[in-house]
Amino acid sequence: MNQKTLLALAKKHGTPLFVVDHDELRKNYALFRKHFPRVQIYYAVKVNSDPAIVKTFYELGGSFDVASMQEFHTVHENIAKLPAKQRQDFIWDKIIYANPIKPVETLEELDRYKPLVTYDNHEEVKKIAKHAPHAGLALRLRVPNTGSMVELSSKFGALPGEAVELIAYAHEHGLTVEGLSFHVGSQCTNPENYIQAIHLCAGIFAEAKSRGFNLKLLDIGGGFPAAYDASVPKFGVLARKINHEIDRLFPKEIEILAEPGRFLVASAGTAISKIIGKAVRNEKLCYYVNDGVYHTYSGVIFDHCTYHLKSFKRGATQLCAVFGPTCDALDTISLAEQLPDLELGDYLYSENIGAYSAASSTHFNGFPPAKVVHVNR
């Protein structure tokens, strides 16, 4: 989005402001479909659960990965008025509850919807059998997360060696395991993570079949990287490597799912803030803005992400620090930004901030989250 448009939006709506460009969402969705024609896209709602974003992906024919009942209901709002059978078909075909650990209360509520859910341990099987016996299951595997920005394997995933036994255990409890799922870690720039995981799954499919369990689907999870900078591999190159292994190891009748989130929404979000303070500390120019790591820039803390700030004004630049508005020293957006000499009331903005930003914004210190404005809906 061009500077003129962003500046006009900031002046019209005030700051802090979070701008979502729905044309960018559509472009990213189309790009993923182009490079993964065999894969059914399940948008990872946790990345940005704004109902308007969910609606755009729904209108594009998308499916959804949810990890809480709130996320489930955000998606369900789009199908609430459909006929009962059509609504149920959508839930079964287009929603996966991809949180391997679920409270009893959640399972009891989920059961009437007959969804597909993930699991990775014996206790979860017993819970599901008792409280959500109508659910279909996908076994979540622990796979390599080497080189991913956010590692997930320490918290979730069954060991590959125990996979078939866990499938059998679920069947013994009257449940049906539809397939396998894995996650290579968020912002994965190492294609070997996917390759190794796909190979592991192919072996488990074969072993399961030898035991009489015919698996029908493979969920290759998320982790597809956003192009934050030039170090991120070209998406087409990553896709070719993954597609080659999927087509080589899995026949066409096996359904392939993926849960992209960051890839779809990162570039669609722009944050605009206003300079509310200015000082020189340790011979470095410091700017204080009305957004920070407890708000739109929460990804600095929670997502190990770096967001660069840009000025709407030109001029000679110098190394600056940029801090958020709260009283906490942790509220540091950056200690190394190249910015010109700016005045109180001037604006800064950050691009590619649509993922894991507004979604984890808080009300810390009494400062509310940024106002959200949607364009090109």
Positions marked active-site:
327
- Angle at which helices 51-59 and 22-35 cross, to 10°: 50
d(CA 301, CA 100): 24
d(CA 117, CA 108): 13
**248 exposure class (CB count in 10 Å sphere: 0-12, 13-18, 19+):** exposed
3-state secondary structure the chain: CCHHHHHHHHHHHCCCEEEEEHHHHHHHHHHHHHHCCCEEEEEEHHHCCCHHHHHHHHHCCCEEEECCHHHHHHHHCCCCCCCHHHHHHHHHHHEEECCCCCCHHHHHHHHHHCCEEEECCHHHHHHHHHHCCCCEEEEEECCCCCCEEECCCCCCCECHHHHHHHHHHHHHCCCEEEEEEECCCEEECCHHHHHHHHHHHHHHHHHHHHCCCCCCEEECCCCCCCCCCCCCCCHHHHHHHHHHHHHHHCCCCCEEEECCCHHHHHHHEEEEEEEEEEEEECCEEEEEECCCCCCHHHHHHHCCCCCCCEECCCCCEEEEEEECCCCCCCCEEEEEEEEECCCCCCEEEECCCCCCCHHHCCCHHHCCCCEEEEECC
Which residues, including other chains, have CB under 8 Å from residue 89's CB and lie 6 or more apart?
none
| Sign of the C-alpha dihedral computed for residues 79, 85, 88 and 89 taken in this order | negative
